[in-house]
Amino acid sequence: MSSTVPIGRFGLRDLLRHYRPWAVLARQLNTRYAGLSPSFFARSARIVDAGAGPQDALKAKRLFRHCWYEGINIADLPQTSREREAYDQYHLADLNETDLSFLPDRSYDLVISSHTIEHLEDGTAVVSRLCAKVGPSGLLYLEWPSVESIAFPIRGLGLRFDDDRTHRRTYGLDEIRALVESHDLRVEFARCRRQWLRIILAPMLVAFHSWRFRRPVLYDLWDITGFCYTLRASRPPGS
């Protein structure tokens, strides 16, 4: 299970598709994919998303040449909706209850959990189970609210941990890093999320989303305020 495709194996159509400017921009704005080599998107990636949102499979299918996108969520999607049909498999399951045994171990190129563990009774237990699903040369991507967000002075606009009443607890960066490393994964980065492109575009994104939701929302300032942590880890080839 290799995480890259040599450039020499690309055809002209592949090069035009995977290196075109809009595709690069879309990947950089989607934090789970930011920083990955364009060659990663040219392979037939097998992805599982724990806590998958309605749009996540649709977004992935636009960015990858081919991918299998598997989602897990406690909430169902309409069977005939575009969102549900974009998922190759959709597991209706409570991450507080399941041991994830329905997912084969060491079988995924990319395992994602983005803004999910803070909603769970024991987020660290779920992280441990997800680590087991990462295949050789595969990647784990985690994102969750920072400890600093608990005491952020502005309330009610999406910049503070308790703005979301379904949040239960958050976890320190060192705690999650140590947990991931204990499962024989190599941490590539573990840090407060500071994505330069989102910082530059923040004023426009805030204006757009506030207009879209018909109320002030400041989620697009997360990279400026340090609202969340992000971690990416990989499993060595052959392990």
The pLDDT tens digits for 180-228 are: 999 999 999 999 999 998 999 999 999 998 998 898 889 999 999 999 9
Distance CA 28, CA 108 (A): 22
Give the pLDDT of residue 25: 76
Give me the DSSP letters along 200-231: HHHHHHHHHHHHHHTS---GGGHHHHT-EEEE
With tokens 């069977």, the residue in question is: 79
Give the pLDDT of residue 213: 86
Average per-residue pLDDT for the chain: 90
Give the pLDDT of residue 19: 54
Which residue in 158, 131, 136 sits closest to 236, CA to CA?
A: 136
Which residue in 9, 69, 6 sits closest to 40, CA to CA?
A: 6
Give the pLDDT of residue 22: 62
Domains of the chain (ranges; CATH) run 7-234 (3.40.50.150)
Give the pLDDT of residue 1: 44
Distance CA 73, CA 127 (A): 15
Give me the DSSP letters along 72-130: EESS---TTSHHHHH-SEEEE--TTT---TTSPTT-EEEEEEES-GGGSS-HHHHHHHH
Which residue in 132, 116, 114 sits closest to 179, CA to CA?
A: 132
Give the pLDDT of residue 21: 57
Q: 102 — phi, psi (to 5°)?
A: -75, -10
- Calculate the alpha carbon distances from 74 to 46, 122, 150 in Å: 21, 16, 25
First to last CA, the chain: 11
Report, as ranges of residue numbers, the positions in the chain whose pLDDT lies below 70.
Answer: 1-23
